[in-house]
């Protein structure tokens, strides 16, 4: 999947880690879980290059984001933060399997240009790839509120809905596992599935059971902290990140999350 070096905006996929970045959180949060393969259908993105504003499935043509390096686009967005440069940068992140880095770029653009259809559509794509289906559907619906005829957003809304349904069905199948076979790994996976569906309380319950089965499971403690960050409760999250570090002082993802939670502690909830 992704291989990003910045710990505050990373999406790591090594079999035990995954990342989430959502509308209320400007930085990525690391979640221990499972490997997720991201395959981006090119036509799902709305592009903003020098020759067009939006592109659908039948209008694929090279954009600035597809021909320039990410570093070049980052420099362009810093020196000249136009809507086009930020759209191109977000698209490049997504095309390079880094949707978690696209999210804050798009959020920043929407803060100053709340009616930007391309940004809402691409935010929907980024959240869907991150398996954050509720904010994905919210982004697509927002685009459709602005322009009910925006077919690309309508297509992506259906995509996000379908992916969420797959997650619901996968969780239902997972629940068929016999109680006697439910080890800590089972509850780690179950909690991640609940998190993707936006049910943070159920995710916390699953990871608490994982800790009951394996009291030294630092990943479960880290994940509980992550869920509390999703619930915008950084003080509680800090306790769990500290517990994770106490259980495994080498767990860098918990250290990253602890630093992020501390930075959010005194910020007003959004």
Q: Is the dihedral of CA 25, 26, 30, 35 positive or negative?
A: positive
Q: What average pLDDT score do residues 195-218 get? A: 91
Band of the pLDDT at 55, cuts 50, 70, 90? very low
Q: How many CB atoms lie within 10 A of CB 52?
A: 12
pLDDT of amino acid 201: 93
Residue 176, pLDDT > 80, answer no
Residue 256, pLDDT > 50, answer yes
Residue range 31-47, pLDDT digits in tens: 333 222 233 333 455 44
Domain boundaries, the chain: 42-163, 177-264
Domains 42-163 and 177-264 share a fold: yes
Q: What average pLDDT score do residues 44-59 get? A: 32
Entry pTM = 0.63
- Percentage with pLDDT > 70 across the chain: 72
For residues 12 and 19, the answer to whether their CB atoms sit within 8 Å is yes
Q: What average pLDDT score do residues 84-110 get? A: 93
Angle at 111 between CA 155 and CA 231, to 5 degrees: 80
Question: 201-216 burial string, b = 16+ CB within 10 Å, else e?
Answer: ebbbbbbbbbbebbee
42-163 CATH fold: 1.25.40
For residues 237 and 226, the answer to whether their CB atoms sit within 8 Å is yes
Residue 23, pLDDT > 50, answer no
Least confident of 164-168, 221-225, 236-240: 164-168
177-264 CATH fold: 1.25.40
Band of the pLDDT at 67, cuts 50, 70, 90? low
**What does the alpha-carbon distance between residue 193 and residue 251 come to, in Å, rounded to a whole number?**
22
Please indicate whether residue 115 or residue 268 has the higher confidence score (pLDDT).
Answer: 115
Please indicate whether residue 9 or residue 164 has the higher confidence score (pLDDT).
Answer: 164
């Amino acid at each position: 999947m992704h291989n990003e070096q910045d710990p505050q905006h990373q999406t790591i996929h090594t079999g035990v880690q995954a990342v989430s970045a959502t509308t209320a959180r400007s930085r990525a949060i690391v979640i221990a879980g499972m490997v997720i393969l991201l395959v981006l259908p090119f036509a799902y993105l709305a592009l903003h290059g020098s020759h067009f504003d939006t592109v659908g499935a039948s209008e694929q043509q090279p954009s600035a984001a597809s021909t320039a390096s990410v570093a070049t686009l980052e420099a362009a967005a810093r020196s000249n933060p136009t809507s086009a440069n930020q759209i191109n940068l977000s698209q490049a992140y997504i095309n390079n399997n880094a949707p978690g880095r696209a999210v804050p770029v798009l959020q920043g653009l929407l803060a100053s240009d709340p009616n930007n259809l391309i940004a809402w559509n691409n935010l929907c794509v980024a959240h869907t790839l991150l398996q954050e289906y509720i904010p994905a559907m919210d982004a697509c619906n927002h685009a459709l509120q602005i322009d009910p005829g925006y077919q690309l957003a309508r297509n992506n809304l259906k995509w996000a809905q379908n992916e969420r349904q797959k997650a619901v069905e996968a969780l239902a199948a997972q629940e068929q596992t016999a109680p006697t076979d439910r080890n800590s790994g089972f509850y780690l996976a179950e909690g991640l599935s609940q998190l993707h569906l936006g049910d943070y309380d159920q995710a916390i319950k699953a990871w608490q059971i994982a800790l009951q089965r394996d009291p030294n499971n630092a990943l479960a403690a880290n994940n509980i902290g992550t869920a509390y960050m999703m619930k915008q409760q950084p003080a509680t999250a800090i306790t769990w990140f500290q517990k994770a570090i106490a259980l495994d002082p080498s767990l860098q993802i918990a250290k990253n999350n602890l630093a992020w939670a501390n930075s959010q502690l005194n910020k007003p909830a959004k």
